[in-house]
Amino acid sequence: MQVLKFGGTSVNDAKAIAQVAAIAADQLKTDPNVVVVTSAMRGVTDLLINSAKAAASGDRQRYRDARSTLVTRHRDAAEVLIPDLDDLARVQELTDERIREFERLCMAVAILGELTDRGLAVISGLGERLLAPILAAAIRARGLKAEFVDAGELIVTDDNHASAAPDMDATRAATRGRLLPLLEAGVMPVVTGFVAATPSGVPTVLGRGGSDYSAAILGAALDADEIQIWTDVDGVLTADPRIVKEARTLSELTYSEAAELAYFGAKVLHPKTMLPAIDLGITISVRNTFNPGFAGTRIVAQAVNVGTVKALTVIRGLALITVAGRGMMGVPGIAARTFAAVAAQGANVLMISQASSEQSICFVLPEPDASHVVAALESAFAGEIHRRLIDRVTLEPEVVIVAVVGEGMRGTPGIAAKLFGALGEKQLNVIAVAQGSSEANISLVLAAADADAAVRYMHTAFGLAG
């Protein structure tokens, strides 16, 4: 059993979709059970979301313009891909219906002047619901049996509509009940990524970039042998090739390395993708739709070649906040109150570091949240600041996190020394450091201006170019 997921660029136009159909057909030669999961066409989800947001603020032109883009892109692709006129007519009818639904929903949002998460989930999931029937027909055009399936019938989630969490037991039952009979009948299911539904059938979505996660959830529900994530690059790279020319594709990674990399900004995989696969030990592979002969990256429980540092990533657009003061030493509850104040602002903390002198706590968060958080901390600690127990709450803007990832760093001495050596030699200043106790990741906070140079030096220092 193979679950094949195709990203937005892989289904961007008729030519790309034809390539996807060829890959799916090819897979069928080695495995009779193939399930396809698809994203929306590239840019479509953004278009839908932006139209809905504009509608909420009274702008009705935006969704009318989007409407014609959606009609053209989907109808044109279908026309090229589906030679059978009856099949084409059915698919075009479905496309038109979905686009009318989009317009009606946006009109309702404009009238209400409000966009709820529930409304946003319905509208943002339309891209997958538009594309999957076209892809299914394109696969049928190759003489195979394929059928479009709405993941709202398969993936059961909570009601956190815009970033819903799956109920794996309910999902397993629904998925097997719906997909196994199709597979037994020799029909390839073509499932919408990203979308799901609550137990009562209200549409939800799994969060931006969530179709990787959809594929992993379905793969686990079906006890698949492999989950293949087909994208537009050769796999997971040692570093961003725009920064490091010599960056190369990793042939193998562990689940935790892939999760660390995804969490720390490597764009290839949604960070949650590994979760459903870990328990069952399902291999995830990252493949390139436009270079299908290349093996890509395999993500497994245990790597054959452990190595030490595997890859480097950068998260940009961050700020560092420090709460400092000599009076903090040995005082319980400062950290709890700090992070309670941060959480109350809805800010996501990416990294925390406290030295054992306990004279400061620093943490990193997205820059847009920083000034609110500083204000919230100043008011939460007004008493301590007044009594001089806390000297200050400072904000350092324009920083990045460079994450150094590799499970083989665990128990290997000298990695940190080599890292700081490489940076020190080039006069690059490390502002803060954190290492998780898993030792699979060391995170460095650097000034944004130093990021690219730091990544290049470390890439060389750790011999990542091979």
Question: At residue 71, what is the residue type?
Answer: V
271 touches ligand ASP by CB under 6 A: no
2 strand-pairing partners = 34, 226
Residues between 387 and 446 that touch Mg ion (CB under 5 A) = none
Residue 135 CA to residue 157 CA, distance in Å, equals: 25
Residue from the set 152, 166, 189, 193 that interacts with ligand ASP by CB under 6 A = 193
Residues between 197 and 236 that touch ligand ASP (CB under 6 A) = 208-211
| Residue 229, φ and ψ in degrees, nearest 5 | -100, 105
Q: How far is the CB of 126 from Mg ion (least distance, A)?
A: 15
Which CB atom, from 117 or from 391, has the smaller least distance to ligand ASP? 117
For the window 191-230, what string marks contact with Mg ion as x by the rule CB under 5 A? ------------------x---------------------
Residue 297 CA to residue 134 CA, distance in Å, equals: 28
Which CB atom, from 33 or from 231, has the smaller least distance to ligand ASP? 231
Q: How far is the CB of 261 from Mg ion (least distance, A)?
A: 17
194 touches ligand ASP by CB under 6 A: yes
Residue from the set 45, 228, 313, 338 that interacts with ligand ASP by CB under 6 A = 45
Asked whether the CA dihedral 281, 285, 286, 289 is positive or negative, the reply is negative
Q: How far is the CB of 9 from ligand ASP (least distance, A)?
A: 10
Q: How far is the CB of 432 from ligand ASP (least distance, A)?
A: 31
Of ligand ASP, Mg ion, none, which one does residue 45 interact with (CB within 5 to 8 Å by kind)?
ligand ASP
Which CB atom, from 41 or from 446, has the smaller least distance to Mg ion? 41
| Interface region with Mg ion, contact rule CB under 5 A, candidates 3-11, 253-261, 329-337, 377-385 | 3-11
Which CB atom, from 7 or from 408, has the smaller least distance to Mg ion? 7
Of Mg ion, ligand ASP, none, which one does residue 189 interact with (CB within 5 to 8 Å by kind)?
none
Q: Are 310 and 252 spatial neighbours (Cβ–Cβ below 8 Å)?
A: no
Which CB atom, from 211 or from 256, has the smaller least distance to ligand ASP? 211
Of Mg ion, ligand ASP, none, which one does residue 152 interact with (CB within 5 to 8 Å by kind)?
none
Q: Which of 158, 143, 15, 19 lies closest to 83, judged by CA?
A: 143
Q: How far is the CB of 235 from Mg ion (least distance, A)?
A: 16
Which CB atom, from 2 or from 45, has the smaller least distance to ligand ASP? 45
Which CB atom, from 10 or from 353, has the smaller least distance to ligand ASP? 10
Q: How far is the CB of 395 from ligand ASP (least distance, A)?
A: 31
Q: How far is the CB of 445 from ligand ASP (least distance, A)?
A: 28
Of ligand ASP, Mg ion, none, which one does residue 325 interact with (CB within 5 to 8 Å by kind)?
none
Q: Strands of 34-38's sheet, edge to edge? A: 146-149, 188-192, 34-38, 2-6, 226-231, 283-288, 297-300, 252-254
127 touches ligand ASP by CB under 6 A: yes
39 touches ligand ASP by CB under 6 A: yes
| Interface region with Mg ion, contact rule CB under 5 A, candidates 4-12, 126-134, 338-346, 370-378 | 4-12
Residue from the set 8, 166, 219, 296 that interacts with Mg ion by CB under 5 A = 8
Which CB atom, from 268 or from 376, has the smaller least distance to Mg ion? 268
Count of residues touching Mg ion (by CB under 5 A): 4
302: its two tokens: 């245990």
Q: How far is the CB of 124 from ligand ASP (least distance, A)?
A: 7
Count of residues touching ligand ASP (by CB under 6 A): 11
Give the binding site for Mg ion (CB under 5 A): 7-8, 39, 209
Give the binding site for ligand ASP (CB under 6 A): 8, 39-40, 45, 127, 193-194, 208-211
